[in-house]
Amino acid sequence: MSKRDVFEYALVRVVPRVERGECFNAGVIVYCRAKSFVAARTHLDEAKLLALDPGADVPGVRAALHGVQGVCTGGEAAGQAAGDDAGRRFRWLIAPRSTVVQPGPVHTGLTADPQAEVERLLDLLVR
């Protein structure tokens, strides 16, 4: 059996109208300290977004989700977080905020392949 490492993950939620509190999952962020790994994958269900808020800014939500992935990638795509290590970028992304795109609570697990966890969790919890 291959070595399994602890990983943390948080869902990325879309809250079209913050005052109503309705939300749906639109992505997942996975962090594995042992492998200095952080990655995010997103999937926006536009029909669900527009059902909850017919006036939603779909391009704006898409841009915010793309930004989450950019921070995980690092480099120029990470903006101010470009020089931060994987752990700091993860902690920045999971910090509570009251915007349309919000992080959910952090959960933990064990994995031998953090990249595979990103895909598995996206399929299981988002798509």
pLDDT of residue 10: 98
Q: Tell me the average pLDDT of the chain.
A: 92
Residue type, 53: D
Q: For residue range 12-29, list pLDDT tens digits in order.
A: 999 999 888 899 999 999
Q: Residues 6 or more apart from 70 whose CB is under 8 A from it?
A: 77, 78, 79
Query: Could you tell me the CA-to-CA distances from 33 to 39, 80, 90 in Å, in that order?
Result: 12, 21, 10
Query: Using an 8 Å Cβ cutoff, are 89 and 69 in contact?
Result: no
β partners of residue 107: 9
First-to-final CA distance of the chain: 29
Rg (CA), the chain: 15
Helix (H, G, I), strand (E, B) or coil at 87: helix
pTM for the whole structure:
0.91
Question: Alpha-carbon distance 91 to 114, whole Å?
Answer: 17
pLDDT of residue 2: 75
Q: Provide block-wise average pLDDT over 10 residues at a time, the chain (127 residues).
A: 90 92 95 96 97 96 93 79 86 88 96 96 96
